[in-house]
Structure 1
């Protein structure tokens, strides 16, 4: 998830969090209200522009750093799968640790990417490069 320090998401990937989270809470209560209002402004409930993209890291867009983890602590995880890293007790301490130490985050990221680089790449009929991450081609 640390790669989410870079990148963007389309509005349709998080609309439920800012409009239809639950009967009791239309907006996901793990989002800080100012950030939710900003997202609602950029992604109106009806007739939103499908070409609009929102940065996964609203603080240091385009910079690879540990700010993503600080954002999670502040209720600014764009995707539910991001924010749960801070709200889930199993991963919360890691978020805190990496928010407090850019070096620890960077070292862990390098280690993870090195491991991932050893995974065999599927090619030809055995692989599929998705045009849209949320669906098979």
Structure 2
């Protein structure tokens, strides 16, 4: 292969990530890193579920038409947005509150400069680090989407009762292979939580035989009134819920998974070896998770005229004209 062709391929790849750079705000908003880090830290100390909430919003955003903050846009009388899809109803308010706090501070420091999609990507990484996870690079310069449509969500996100086949299929468009899917699922669930209705079928009326009986009893008590108390939720890693670590994989091997879609990762021959790898090797888990997150965070990012920098994260700029 000629050097010129190699150079062309390299520059085409670099360009496909839309001129994202690690120092994108160095001149236009030098306090960007400090503001995102400080506000994220404060919020995580106030509400320890913030990291998990943010990671979920990040995935739900990137999986649908790329990492462009389209999931943050609220519906109006003309348009039902992604947020109104039932799979996004359980996204936690703490994440949206944090994004709003960071956006407000950045608009005071450098008005009209920082996109909501960059806030979402950077704050998610910071919160993962605060929770004990790996630090990974987040190139910046994403633009925010001008569209958010409810029907776009269907088929892009895997539901909690999804088969391994379906999970593999959902991650494929993002260039995520089976090993990366396992590491992202474990990483997403090591600090994650799920509402009772999302796993009720595993404990009522009969228990899923793959689930540890003690866990079944605990969850039955906790979720006894789940049809009336819709906010009731359980941590997905019942052993070390607040820590970003590899314990989730050890749990899966012992049958103490809250979600069926986590448990089946241990029974499918395509995913089982990776569950075993990450259960015994926390360093491999941290490294591979960081690399996979870098990959996800640049998925179908918008640049230049493809998007805008929203003044408010929950509305497109010309929404009221």
> TM-score of the superposition, structure 2-length normalised?
0.35
User: Match of 1:37?
Assistant: 217
Q: Larger Rg: 1 or 2?
A: 2
After TM superposition, give the deviation of residue 51 of structure 1 in Å: 1.4
Deviation (angstroms), 1:104 = 0.7
* Counterpart secondary structure, 1:16: helix
**Structural mapping, 1:107-118, within 5 Å:** 107-118=287-298
Please give the secondary structure, in 1, of the residue aligned with 2:293.
helix
Please say if 1:83 is aligned against 2:268: no
Q: Quote the residue 2:235 is aligned against.
A: 55
Q: Match for 1:5 among 190, 193, 203?
A: 190
Instruction: Please state whether the residue corresponding to 1:38 is helix, strand or coil.
Output: helix
CA distance in 2: counterparts of 1:18 and 1:86, whole angstroms: 19
The aligned residue for residue 251 of structure 2 is: 71
Contact 1:19-1:45 within 8 A present in 2 as well: no
RMSD: 1.9
Does residue 19 (structure 1) correspond to residue 199 (structure 2)? The answer is no
| Ranges of 4+ aligned residues in structure 1 off by more than 6 Å | none
- For the residue of structure 2 that corresponds to 1:9, the secondary structure is strand
Q: Which has the higher contact order (CA 8 A, sep 6+)?
A: 2
Distance 1:48 1:100 in 2: 40
Q: Is residue 2:279 matched to residue 1:94?
A: no
Per-residue Cα deviation, 1:52-83 (whole angstroms, up to 9, x for no partner): 11001111111100001011011111111111
Query: Does the residue aligned with 1:113 lie in a helix, a strand or coil?
Result: helix
Q: Structure 1: which 5+ residue stretches go unaligned?
A: 21-25, 125-137
Deviation at 1:45, TM superposition (A): 6.5
Aligned-partner SS, 2:203: helix
Q: Gaps spanning 5+ residues in structure 2: where? A: 1-184, 309-321
> For residues 301 and 207 of structure 2, what CA distance do their matches in structure 1 show?
40
- Is the CA contact 1:11–1:53 (under 8 Å) kept in the aligned structure 2? yes
Q: How many residues in Structure 1 have an aligned counterpart in Structure 2?
A: 120
1:49 Cα deviation from its structure 2 partner? 2.0
Task: Give 1:121 deviation, angstroms.
Answer: 3.7
8 Å CA contact 1:15, 1:45 repeated in 2: no
Q: Secondary structure at the match of 1:39?
A: helix
